[in-house]
């Protein structure tokens, strides 16, 4: 430990970001990194505590506490403080395939479990990680590493989201030949089309996939396996197949008037903007536009927030975010102690921008849609909402929402975005490979493993565990790769 008293000498300092009213003028990332000296000071705050909860990554009271990748956080923080950034990079890459992704989009479970955060503010683990990996790219230490020996085994990975990429990267480095099939026109899956540029610029994904290509991974885009590409042909030409197609069934809203024109799933809205930025520089009529419209977003999570930020950049007239659940407390409650995940209210970048632009928080809590109202041409013109209260069933103890009579309100709306989460995997890919879905519509596998029961077919990521985080998907991909390697070789040295 380089600075035993660092956590007492330095206060937490985060990267500066553009003011909300400035950053809404563009779609780029908007954080400015700290100086080299400031970053070393932040790394010095790491306490190298005896029990580093930050790297635990295990469920605690129903939520993951600490990093699911078990990143060696105290080790690379110490190396970063000492100025040994190349060694810090090596330690970071031992456990994380893509720190450039997690350091941008992860909710930093590590920081929420940081021992320093028990009585003070946590270490800036996420930003420290980003500084290390970007140093690696800038300095040339991250470069193509082509395996010296190939095993002669071939693996097909279906889907190029974080789980698929992690599995492909790990197996390729082991010496196997890997082909990744992606139904979209660019690799990246959720990373490419589900997360806006403001959080993850697409050049970052391209940089990684180009590196993987140079290392020998083959990408086939526009390949919708089970539709325009034969699953049987892939099985016949592969020694193993990993299904990593994500949790792609969006949860719908069943309300009168749902067929109105102007209602979209959030993922389709976000994808249209990203694709237009990449292909047409956001030319008019090349994307689902919120310009000049009253926008209502159903869903209070990260995707809903991304829709808020994107709608504002389009130039919407107003934006409202509906959240069924009550507002969480601003600080930890007594029954939610550290190192549990803090169940507190978070105001994210999109909400900050709405507050700056419109003068109020866009979120309405305990509210849902009762009816979509159409005009004479079948277009959405308004949304009727209703307030909810949560009632406890005396027999089961379960709390469920109940409409509050007389609380209906009609809000103008010409664009409604459904960001209510996902219900599981789309079945056609699994069926094409003979894999079964469980009752939650995730791909069913052997307990504690990744084998589907279908011959040489495995599953990983959200398709396997349901909608989750990028960091968990990477862990799934790496672990699935280790199981596939053992299946092919009789043993594995992958961890």
Q: Is the pLDDT of residue 50 over 90?
A: no
Q: Give me the pLDDT at residue 2, please.
A: 64
Taking the C-alpha atoms of residue 138 and residue 33, their distance in angstroms, rounded to an integer, is: 14
Regarding whether 291 and 163 lie in a shared domain, the answer is no
Q: Give me the pLDDT at residue 495, please.
A: 74
Supply the range of the domain harboring residue 481: 154-248+423-489
Contacts of 222 (CB under 8 A, 6+ apart): 182, 183, 184, 185, 228
Taking the C-alpha atoms of residue 296 and residue 303, their distance in angstroms, rounded to an integer, is: 13
Task: State mean pLDDT over 193-216.
Answer: 98
Nearest CA to 417 out of 305, 250, 266, 254 is that of: 266
Flag whether 130 is in a domain.
yes
Regarding whether 55 and 176 lie in a shared domain, the answer is no
Regarding whether 430 and 328 lie in a shared domain, the answer is no
Count of residues making up the chain: 495
Regarding whether 408 and 280 lie in a shared domain, the answer is yes
Q: Give me the pLDDT at residue 432, please.
A: 97
Regarding whether 360 and 317 lie in a shared domain, the answer is yes
Flag whether 145 is in a domain.
no
Question: 1 pLDDT band (50/70/90 cuts)?
Answer: low
Domain limit, last residue, from 418, 446, 467 = 418
Q: Is the pLDDT of residue 299 over 70?
A: yes
Q: Give 143-154 pLDDT, tens digit per residue.
A: 999 999 999 999
Flag whether 255 is in a domain.
no
Task: State mean pLDDT over 323-350.
Answer: 95
Q: In the β-sheet with 363-365, what is the strand arrangement from edge to edge?
A: 263-265, 415-418, 294-298, 318-323, 363-365
Taking the C-alpha atoms of residue 193 and residue 162, their distance in angstroms, rounded to an integer, is: 12
Regarding whether 99 and 196 lie in a shared domain, the answer is no
Regarding whether 369 and 349 lie in a shared domain, the answer is yes
Question: 344 pLDDT band (50/70/90 cuts)?
Answer: very high
Flag whether 468 is in a domain.
yes
The CA distances from residue 234 to 150, 152, 165, 231, 461, in Å, are 20, 16, 18, 5, 20
Flag whether 286 is in a domain.
yes
Taking the C-alpha atoms of residue 97 and residue 57, their distance in angstroms, rounded to an integer, is: 16
Q: Give me the pLDDT at residue 396, please.
A: 86
Q: Give 137-191 pLDDT, tens digit per residue.
A: 999 999 999 999 999 999 999 999 999 999 999 999 999 999 999 999 999 999 9
Regarding whether 408 and 268 lie in a shared domain, the answer is yes
Task: State mean pLDDT over 10-39.
Answer: 97
CA angle 151, 153, 154 (to 5 degrees): 135
Regarding whether 87 and 125 lie in a shared domain, the answer is yes
Flag whether 494 is in a domain.
no
Regarding whether 390 and 407 lie in a shared domain, the answer is yes
Q: Give me the pLDDT at residue 303, please.
A: 96
If you average pLDDT over every residue of the chain, what do you get? 96
Check which CATH number belongs to the domain holding 451 and give it: 3.50.50.60
Taking the C-alpha atoms of residue 157 and residue 179, their distance in angstroms, rounded to an integer, is: 6
Domain limit, last residue, from 418, 445, 476 = 418
Check which CATH number belongs to the domain holding 117 and give it: 1.10.1060.10
Q: Give how many domains the chain has, as a whole number.
A: 3
Nearest CA to 77 out of 111, 121, 27, 128 is that of: 128
Q: Measured between alpha carbons, how far apart are the two ends of the chain, in Å?
A: 26
Q: Give 216-235 pLDDT, tens digit per residue.
A: 999 999 999 999 999 999 99
Least confident of 233-247, 286-300, 386-400, 404-418: 386-400
Q: Give 432-454 pLDDT, tens digit per residue.
A: 999 999 999 999 999 999 999 99
Domain limit, last residue, from 113, 139, 165 = 139
Question: 17 pLDDT band (50/70/90 cuts)?
Answer: very high
Task: State mean pLDDT over 340-344.
Answer: 95
Question: 488 pLDDT band (50/70/90 cuts)?
Answer: very high
Do residues 160 and 185 touch, judged by C-beta distance below 8 A? Answer: no
Regarding whether 406 and 272 lie in a shared domain, the answer is yes
Q: Give 82-94 pLDDT, tens digit per residue.
A: 999 999 999 999 9
CA angle 410, 416, 417 (to 5 degrees): 140
Regarding whether 321 and 219 lie in a shared domain, the answer is no
Flag whether 406 is in a domain.
yes
Q: b/e string for 149-178 if b means 16 or more Cβ within 10 A?
A: eebebbbbbbbbbbbbbbbbbbbbbbbbbb
Neighbours of 7 (CB within 10 A): 23
Flag whether 149 is in a domain.
no
């Amino acid at each position: 430990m380089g600075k035993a008293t660092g956590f007492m000498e330095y206060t937490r300092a985060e990267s500066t970001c553009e003011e909300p009213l400035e950053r809404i003028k563009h779609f780029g990332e908007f954080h400015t990194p700290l100086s080299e000296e400031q970053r070393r000071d932040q790394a010095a705050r790491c306490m190298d505590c005896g029990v580093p909860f930050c790297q635990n990554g295990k469920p605690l009271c129903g939520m993951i506490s600490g990093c699911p990748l078990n990143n060696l956080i105290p080790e690379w923080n110490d190396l970063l403080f000492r100025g040994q950034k190349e060694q810090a990079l090596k330690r970071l890459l031992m456990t994380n395939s893509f720190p450039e992704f997690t350091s941008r989009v992860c909710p930093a479970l590590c920081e929420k479990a940081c021992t320093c955060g028990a009585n003070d503010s946590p270490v800036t683990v996420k930003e420290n990680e980003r500084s290390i990996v970007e140093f690696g790219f800038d300095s040339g230490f991250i470069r193509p590493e082509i395996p010296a020996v190939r095993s002669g085994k071939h693996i097909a990975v279906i889907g190029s989201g974080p789980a698929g990429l992690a599995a492909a990267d790990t197996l390729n480095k082991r010496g196997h030949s890997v082909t990744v099939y992606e139904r979209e026109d660019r690799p990246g899956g959720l990373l490419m089309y589900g997360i806006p540029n403001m959080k993850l610029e697409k050049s970052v994904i391209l940089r990684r996939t180009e590196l993987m290509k140079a290392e020998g991974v083959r990408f086939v885009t526009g390949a919708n396996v089970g539709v325009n590409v034969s699953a049987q042909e892939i099985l016949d030409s592969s020694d193993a197949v990993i299904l990593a197609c994500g949790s792609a069934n969006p949860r719908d809203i069943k309300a009168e008037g749902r067929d109105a024109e102007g209602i979209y799933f959030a993922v389709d809205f976000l994808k249209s903007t990203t694709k237009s930025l990449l292909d047409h520089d956001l030319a008019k009529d090349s994307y689902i536009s919120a310009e000049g419209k009253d926008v209502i977003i159903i869903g209070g999570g990260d995707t809903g927030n991304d829709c808020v930020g994107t709608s504002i950049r389009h130039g919407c007239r107003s934006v409202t975010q509906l959240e069924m659940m009550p507002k969480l407390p601003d600080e930890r409650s007594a029954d939610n102690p550290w190192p549990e995940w803090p169940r507190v209210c978070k105001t994210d970048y999109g909400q900050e921008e709405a507050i700056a632009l419109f003068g109020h928080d866009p979120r309405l809590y305990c509210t849902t849609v009762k009816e979509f109202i159409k005009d004479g041409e079948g277009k959405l013109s308004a949304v009727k909402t209703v307030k909810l209260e949560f009632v406890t069933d005396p027999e089961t103890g379960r709390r469920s929402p109940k409409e509050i009579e007389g609380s209906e309100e009609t809000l103008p709306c010409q664009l409604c975005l459904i960001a209510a989460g996902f219900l599981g995997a789309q079945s056609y890919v699994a069926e094409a490979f003979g894999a079964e879905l469980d009752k939650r519509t995730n791909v069913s596998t052997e307990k504690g493993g990744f084998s589907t029961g279908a011959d040489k077919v495995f599953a990983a990521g959200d398709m396997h565990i349901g909608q989750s985080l990028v960091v968990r998907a990477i862990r799934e991909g790496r672990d699935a790769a280790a199981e596939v390697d053992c299946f092919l070789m009789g043993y594995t040295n992958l961890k």
